[in-house]
Structure 1
Amino acid sequence: MFWDRHLPTLNAAGAALLAREFWTPYPEVPSGKIYGETARDDGLASYQALLNKPFDIADHPETARIGTEISPYGDALGITYPAAEPQVLIDAANKIADAFAASDVKIRIGALLETLARLNAQSFLMGNAVMNTTGQAFPMAFQAGGPHAQDRALEAVAAAWAEMQRFPAQAIWEKPQGKQAPLRLEKHWTLIPSGLSLAIGCNTFPTWNSFPGIFASLATGNPVIIKPHPSAVLPLALAVKTLREVFIEAGLAADAVLLAVDLVDAPIADKLATHSDIKLIDYTGSNTFGDWLRGNAVQAKLFTEEAGINTITIAGTDNFLAMADNLAFALSLYSGQMCTAPQNIYIPEGGIETDEGHKSFDDVAKGLADAIDRLVADPARAAAICGAIANPATLSRVEKARSLGRIIRDSAPLDYKNSATPLLIAIEAGDEATTHEWFGPIMFIIPAKDGDVAIQTASGLARKKGAITAALYDTNEPRIQRAAIAFARAGVNLSVNLTGNIFVNQSAAFSDFHVTGANPAGNACLTDTAFVASRFHHAMWRRPVTE
């Protein structure tokens, strides 16, 4: 049923993966003409109806009720979720694991595609849930939490389907033996899922970062236990509820998808991650817990996205104003609380050549500051771009950063709680502060001897400490080509001379490989072959062919 309904979408997704061109079945514009004239109001009403109540997930294992979410915009959500001890969840997943592994692949894939269609229809509800748990402004919460996360999930499903179909399920093997009769065997291959999967969500992008691993594991037959960040449970709880409802309709076990809720001061991720039955772990978060997982969750295959230091190198430009405006948006978006947000900005100490003539180091720095000021001058626009700060520790980090160098542009709150515009600090090259991540609206402007040295410094830092994105502005084509090689060798995706409405922060499903897996910022890529093919194995049985 679901397979036939969504096969055209799956085929189109597979074609998009190979073409790497723009394609999406899930419109990113929160328009009533697309989602229904009442969709916005209905989504808000549905979100408000969930507040201050138990969140119901039918037949989900439950030994307690937990819920501590407080919106960065100020209000407690008051929602409690079904919670259970790690072993209870493990037992529930194990109970259905064999049947789920043996289920028809088309039934699983069809159910996942139906789930995405239903989640897409709920995008306004999801947008409100993401906004009020992460602090993203609604336009970003709708897009990143809804259609863009759905794109990434579909991308993973399509890639998994392609990998599972790459080789035949059976074959006749015949080996010539000269004058003797050939050896003939019939061979059969079964796809064997790796085992129970654990998805550890993050506070800032609970669906966008988690959906690829969740949907890749489910597509390949692995039950998934989803452990949201305690501050951002609702978006993933909505996904769990929808998945379980669709699975039941498809004849699959609902307990193939389980929610693991915990408290900040009573975490359970460590207990789940080190359980001998957990074989796959998808994790987005700090290097500290990433290192802990590598040292302790030795029984599992890890797929990680961790902290990195993203850089901008400004060596020259033929459109200074457009460059500054583009970077102002990139630096302000969600107050720098993105894994793709730039931090270190390298500028030649002698300045750069531009369409407006030569500009000194300070001229370039001031141009960036002025562009940010223009961007956030209108309060409504600033709120729609900057959003709110998800974690109070980020505001403390901004305060600490003020003492690290010369303030080019000071951070300031907007006219609502938990907000901060970008802080630009001029700091000396080689300062220790520039060699680790300062998560949030904190950017360092750093002098370099020249453009080549800036590129070498930025790419070298990525190689040692990790980076997901890098940006370069330059008019010297040979140097641009040298930079492309340097950043590729450092395992970083490079954007060159971006202006207009495309920004270094953005990563497009079906086209961009998000995180290369080739530096310390993450060992996995969304979504390459290894991301999906590592979740299952081929087991063979064979016997002689009898005439």
Structure 2
Amino acid sequence: MINTELMRVTSLIEGKSVTQEQEKTMEVINPFNGEAVGKVSLASKENAKKAIESAHQVFHKTMKKMPAYRRAEILSKAADLLEERTEEFAKVLVLEAGKPIRDGRGEVGRAVQVIRFAADEAKKIEGEMVPMDAAIGGENRIGMVRRQPLGVISAITPFNFPLNLALHKLAPAFAAGNTVVLKPAGKTPLSAYMLVKLFEEAGLPQGALNLVIGNGSEVGDVLVTDSRISKITFTGSPSVGIDLRRKAELKKVTLELGSNSPNIIFNDGDVKAAAVGLVRGAFAFSGQVCISAQRIYVQRDVYQDFLEQYVPLVEKLVIGNPVEETTDIGPMISEAEAIRAHEWIEQAVKAGANIVTGGNRKGTLLEPTILVNVNQDMKVVCEETFAPIVSVIPFDTEEEVIAMANDSKFGLQAGVFTSDINRAMRVAEEMETGGVWINETSTYRQDNYPYGGVKLSGIGKEGVKYAIEDMTEIKFVGIKLG
């Protein structure tokens, strides 16, 4: 059983709860049944400024001077603690995000791995020697390049992977010696609160991680524009990300802004493997995944074969209460989002699309939906659905499908199924995306490779090693010998 007792959480500055005379509160709602599972005290602009000042002071007094082995020890301890509390965190993900319990455990497992990657990388941050005598006049000079932490990092995280995506920002930041002010999504602040407490228990200095729970309109600008912030790392919508980048001015920025990922199945590909993989690839966490398979392009002579294998697998998915071990598909994050997605299906049907399976909504539950006979102008194709909706589209030639796949304002990840290595590499080269998987769905992500998009999918890279590189600054030191 999952504990349904109301959690009461606040923002945290230097480990202390933030309280205010005129307290503004917000309820955290279970997306499946609409019940309140948490009550949050909302932060003010002044709270956000105090969180930044605290992180700024701790960076200069403590974190930037902390040796690598100590940062690695703290991260390793945090990973051990999180692993021990897998069930506790997984259950909170069920309550606040509506994530099926099996997927919740999977997210915690990945989160543990992210921290352990960061602990390893903390001890590998290297510089280099510059051959000064390669330049005329460089004799008797030594040059070295060192990597140093940036300072205070503002981390703004989404609801769909509230634990793992937070750690993709926090763990590399601490590995590099930075401090962080974390603003979680308003719908999923409970796991963030627990995570901050866990890092404190692991030995992270108080103030190195401060939690600000508040409305974007109230605290968002402070966390972007304050001069003490050195970098902003944000996962969310393109409209917010673009506005954030404009306000950030010369600060470093990493933006992950979503996609409508294409997956291409050629007639020489493993159709069965593609069909099996794309069940989860399109519908895991009700499609609320940035790299969820949204557009499936199938070469015409295997198109019908693919649908005949794919549809029955999708129809076997169990929809229902995310608490149940047998549940595959739980609720969307809110009824408003489910209504929006259902309206997009109806609009597509009115414009000529056909529903092969699914298409029905009950509250926050939207059936996994397969559409055919779609066109490029439909929202279910050209926008990010962020819902359990996939379109299956036939194609004839390699050139045609590359053009169709690239005809998008997004470009995060893609999947390609083929047994021809030459074709695989040709298509991978031509795809306008930050990443391409061969014989794997676009939805697959490991936490140790560079992850990030092009076009409207964002700028910068996550993936622990690559995030650390962007969370450090290069400094040159030269010595003239006597």
Q: TM-score range by the shorter chain?
A: 0.7 to 0.9
The 1:541–1:369 alpha-carbon spacing in structure 2 relative to 1, beyond 3 Å, is closer
Matched, 1:336 2:264: no
Q: 2:331 matched to 1:388?
A: yes
Q: CA RMSD in A?
A: 3.4
Q: Which amino acid aligns with 2:467?
A: F
Of residues 316-325 and 419-428 in structure 1, the stretch that sits farther from structure 2 once superposed is 316-325
Q: Secondary structure at the match of 2:458?
A: coil
SS in 1 for 2:36: coil
- Asked if the contact 1:337/1:439 (under 8 Å) is kept, the reply is yes
| Cα contact 1:230–1:261 (8 A) shared by 2 | yes
Q: Distance in 2 between matches of 1:479 and 1:155?
A: 33
Aligned to 2:290, the other structure's residue is in SS state coil
- Of 461, 467, 471, the residue aligned with 1:531 is 467
Give the one of 46, 50, 64 matched to 1:88: 50
Matched, 1:480 2:428: no
Matching of residue 233 in structure 1 with residue 176 in structure 2: no
Task: Tell me, in whole angstroms, the C-alpha distance in 2 between the residues paired with 1:114 and 1:157.
Answer: 9
Any idea what SS the aligned residue of 2:298 has? strand
Tell me the amino acid that sits aligned with residue 255 of structure 2.
T
| 1:307-386 equivalences in 2 (<5 Å) | 307-316=258-267, 320-348=271-299, 351-353=300-302, 361=303, 364-365=306-307, 367-376=309-318, 384-386=327-329
The equivalent residue for 1:445 is 392
Counterpart in 1 of 2:29?
70
1:364 CA drift (Å):
4.1
Asked if residue 513 in structure 1 is aligned to residue 423 in structure 2, the reply is no
Query: Percent identity among equivalent residues?
Result: 19
Please say if residues 61 and 89 of structure 1, whose CA atoms lie closer than 8 Å, have aligned partners that are also in contact: no
The alpha carbon displacement at 1:378 in A equals 10
Q: In the aligned structure 2, how far is the partner of 1:494 from the partner of 1:176?
A: 43
1:131 is the counterpart of 2:87: no
Note the C-alpha offset of 1:128.
Answer: 0.8
Highest Rg: 1 or 2? 1
Q: Please list the CA deviations of residues 26-72 of structure 1 after superposition, one character each: whole Å capped at 9, or x if unmatched.
A: xxxxxxxxxxxxxxx7xx55xx56x2445696742613364421111
Q: AA paired with 2:123?
A: W
Which amino acid is 1:271 matched to?
Answer: V
**Alignment-derived partner of residue 37 in structure 1:** none
d(CA) in 1 for partners of 2:171 and 2:425?
37
Query: Deviations along 1:139-161, whole A, 9 cap, x unmatched?
Result: 111111x1101212332343343
Residue 491 in structure 1 maps to residue 434 in structure 2: yes
SS in 2 for 1:328: helix
Distance 1:188 1:477 in 2: 42
CA contact (8 A) 1:201 1:229 kept: yes
Aligned to 1:24: none
Question: Offset at 1:176?
Answer: 13
Give the Cα separation in 2 of the matches to 1:352 and 1:289: 42
CA distance in 2, matches of 1:524, 1:173: 31
Q: 1:52 to 1:316 in 2, by over 3 A?
A: same
Using the alignment, how far apart are the partners of 1:62 and 1:332 within structure 2? 39
Structure 1 unaligned regions, length at least 5: 1-40, 354-360
Q: CA deviation at 1:541?
A: 6.0
| 2:112 aligned partner | 150
Distance verdict in 2 for CA 1:467–1:60, change over 3 Å: same
The CA deviation string for residues 280-299 of structure 1, in whole angstroms up to 9 with x for no partner, is 11111111111111111113
CA contact (8 A) 1:313 1:471 kept: yes
Q: Which runs of 5+ in 2 are unaligned?
A: none
| CA separation of 1:509 and 1:373: change in aligned 2, threshold 3 A | same
Task: State the partner residue of 2:242.
Answer: 291
Count of residue pairs the alignment pairs up: 466
Paired residue for 2:371, among 413, 421, 425?
425
AA matched with 1:78: G
Tell me, in whole angstroms, the C-alpha distance in 1 between the residues paired with 2:429 and 2:199. 43
For the structure 1 residues 431 and 52, does the alpha-carbon distance in structure 2 shift closer, same or farther, using more than 3 Å as the test? closer
TM-score normalised over the length of structure 1 = 0.76
- Name the CA shift for 1:293/1:82 in 2 (closer, same or farther; >3 Å): closer
* Contact 1:97 1:256 (C-alpha < 8 Å) held by counterparts: yes
Please give the alpha-carbon distance, in whole angstroms, between the structure 1 residues aligned to 2:479 and 2:398.
Answer: 65
